[in-house]
């Protein structure tokens, strides 16, 4: 799996935590089979243990591309921002949803008999809990005198 760029400032510990949170999400929300998170530009951030490691890069690129097409369509139709998207397939459905920070995109595959409202609600809760961990945007510059600031190599 491609590691997020330093720009994202996620540590291995944060990535492990988010992978664990996605696994817990998949284990506790009924009918969730797979889940992954990517940046808007398709960089993999995390995935459940059920997602094949060899496919994570492609999956996250697909997640990003799908959301970009949906957002382009919404702009052309002057429909406002995309909140989420549901795709039904033969063996289940996928839900694409941005975290409230706007920079992380979740994709969840669910079995056929699922409650879309519950999955979307739980995704919002998950996004709120970890939005700060995975926010790939710029961080606020710390204030204080140089001797008070943490050392960064």
pLDDT in tens, 19-31: 999 999 999 999 9
Q: What pLDDT is stored for residue 77 in this prediction? A: 98
The domain ranges of the chain are 11-134
The reported pTM is: 0.78
Residue 98: which residues within 8 A CB-CB, separation 6 or more?
A: 67, 82, 83, 84, 104, 105, 106, 127
Residue 71: which residues within 8 A CB-CB, separation 6 or more?
A: 81, 82
pLDDT in tens, 73-128: 999 999 999 989 999 999 999 999 988 877 789 999 999 889 989 999 999 898 88
pLDDT-derived band at 134 (thresholds 50, 70, 90) equals low
Helix, strand or coil, per DSSP, at residue 46: strand
What residues are paired with 85 via a beta bridge?
96
Q: What pLDDT is stored for residue 87 in this prediction? A: 94
User: Between vectors from CA 11 to CA 10 and to CA 13, what angle results, nearest 5°?
Assistant: 125
Mean pLDDT of the chain: 82
Q: What pLDDT is stored for residue 10 in this prediction? A: 59
CATH class for the domain made up of 11-134: alpha beta
Name which residue leads in pLDDT, 77 or 13. 77
């Amino acid at each position: 799996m491609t590691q997020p760029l330093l720009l994202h400032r996620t540590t291995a510990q944060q990535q492990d935590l988010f992978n664990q949170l996605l696994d817990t999400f998949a284990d506790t929300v009924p009918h969730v089979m797979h889940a992954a998170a990517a940046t808007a530009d398709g960089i993999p951030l995390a995935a459940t243990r059920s997602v094949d490691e060899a496919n994570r890069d492609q999956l996250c690129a697909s997640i990003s591309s799908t959301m970009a097409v949906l957002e382009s369509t919404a702009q052309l139709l002057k429909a406002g921002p995309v909140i989420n998207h549901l795709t039904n397939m033969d063996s289940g459905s996928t839900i694409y949803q941005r975290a409230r920070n706007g920079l992380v995109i979740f994709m969840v595959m669910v079995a056929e008999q699922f409650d879309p409202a519950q999955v979307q609600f739980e995704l919002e809760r998950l996004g709120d809990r970890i939005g700060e961990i995975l926010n790939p945007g710029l961080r606020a510059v710390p204030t204080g005198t140089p001797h008070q600031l943490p050392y960064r190599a």
